[in-house]
Amino acid sequence: MLIRQRRGWDLPELSATPESVFLNRRSVLAAGAAFAGGALGAGVRFPSARAEGASLYPAKRNEAYTLDRPLTPEADNTNYNNFYEYGTSKHVASAAEALKPDPWTVTIDGLVEKPRQVAFEDLLKALPLEERLYRHRCVEAWSMTVPWTGFPLKAFVDYAKPLGSAKYMQLQTFMDPKMAPGQKSFFYPWPYIEGVTMAEATNELAFMVTGAYGKPLPNVMGAPLRLALPWKYGFKSVKSITKISFVEERPKTFWAALGPDEYGFWANVNPAVPHPRWSQASEAILGTDDRKPTLLYNGYAAQVASLYDGMKGENLFM
């Protein structure tokens, strides 16, 4: 595993903090103005759903989620990504400009009270946004720290109203080889699919992401809607989601289909369980030359360890 990153970021490490506090105040004022405008001028429309959504950022930070290290500078984050729909290189930001996140529809189906299709902007209206600072750990052993904006996955579950018989939530990326040339490769089992149990989906940490760094999500990070499961390896955090299905059977996930001996369904972070081809004992912190020891459940054991009580026969850590 080779990580070549320039260190040349000269911003003070946590400069994002005071700035977004300032911006939050400004966005509260802007929201007040928009509300007043709406009351006076019914029928005034924003130029596009995306512009309308943009006024929701930056969202108020949920201070319950704190970090033990600085945020990864935005430029480092957007220049080192995994988005196989746009190629297997880490430098896919310009290729991902072909993604069209607006308009965007999310299908909700399977074991739900009422299957339906929702416009992405209607999700934004229904589910209040907040900002959370999370760590992200790729199975390749690099890591980053990101200010995500979004809503708890549990809020989405309540919105979708699954039936009691639903055992898993399956999340699927768009399928459009014209928009995503990587999907022309027959080597991969497109579309990208991930899944979690209902207990995982409703855990407080599971987060549906619509923005990062106080702005709507850039294409390369999986616009307009991606997952963040900070206690699991990054491949679980599926990007550019178009379909969410509530199902009884465990979903056949993209990486587990491709390499069942290397990538499992659970994929919980554990320093003591190596990947078959490399150690997971430590992680390389993106944008620095530093490594840190990997933590069990990526440091989130207090919130999630009890999800796995008594699951003896399961491969929880691959």
Task: List interacting residues with ligand MTE (CB under 6 A).
Answer: 81-85, 138, 173, 192, 221-222, 234-235, 237-240
Pairwise CA distance, residues 273 & 314, whole Å: 13
Does 77 carry a binding-site annotation?
Answer: no
What are the phi and psi torsion angles at 231 (to 5°)? -90, -5
- Least distance from C-beta 233 to ligand MTE, angstroms? 7
CB of 1 vs Mo ion, minimal distance in Å? 11
Nearest CA to 97 out of 215, 210, 221, 189 is that of 221
263/265 Cα distance (integer angstroms):
7
Smaller CB separation from ligand MTE, 27 or 216:
216
Nearest to 225 by CA among 87, 105, 311: 105
Is 100 annotated to bind a ligand? Reply is: no
Residue among 178, 176, 227 nearest 205 (CA): 227
From the list ligand MTE, Mo ion, none, pick the one residue 84 interacts with, judged by a Cβ distance below 5 to 8 Å according to partner type: ligand MTE
Q: Does 192 bind Mo ion (CB under 5 A)?
A: no
**CB 254, min distance to ligand MTE, A:** 7
DSSP string across 139-151: TTSEEEEEEEEEE
The piece of 150-158, 229-237, 267-275, 306-314 that touches Mo ion (CB under 5 A) is 229-237
Q: Toward ligand MTE, which CB reaches closer, 27 or 286?
A: 286
Those residues whose C-beta lies under 8 Å from the C-beta of residue 41, and which sit 6 or more positions away, are: none
Is 154 annotated for ligand binding?
A: no
Residue 237 or 280 with smaller CB distance to ligand MTE:
237
Residue with smaller CB distance to ligand MTE, 83 or 156: 83
Beta bridge partners of 102: none
Residue nearest to ligand MTE (CB): 234
Give the rounded distance of the alpha carbon of 173 from its chain centre.
Answer: 12
Answer yes or no whether residue 235 interacts with Mo ion by CB under 5 A: yes
Which of 138/171 has CB closer to Mo ion?
A: 138
Among 124, 138, 217, 223, binds Mo ion (CB under 5 A): 138
Does residue 212 interact with Mo ion by CB under 5 A?
no
Task: Select the binding partner of residue 192 from Mo ion, ligand MTE, none (C-beta < 5 to 8 A, by kind).
Answer: ligand MTE
Q: What is the DSSP string of 126-142?
A: HS--EEEEEEEE-TTSE
Within 8 A by CB and 6+ apart from 57, the residues are 27, 129, 149, 211, 214, 215, 216
* CA separation for the pair 204, 296 (Å, rounded): 18
Q: Where is 211: in which H helix or E strand?
A: strand 207-212
Task: Please identify which residue in the block is written with the tokens 């150690």.
Answer: 279
Question: Quick one: what does residue 83 bind among ligand MTE, Mo ion, none, with the CB cut-off 5 to 8 Å set by partner type?
Answer: ligand MTE
Nearer to ligand MTE, 82 or 245 (CB): 82
CA 239 remoteness from chain centre = 6
Q: What part of residues 71-90 is at the interface with Mo ion (CB under 5 A)?
A: 82
* Residues at the site binding Mo ion, with contacts judged by CB under 5 A: 82, 138, 234-235
Q: What residues are designated binding site for Mo-molybdopterin?
A: 81, 84-85, 138, 173, 226, 237-239
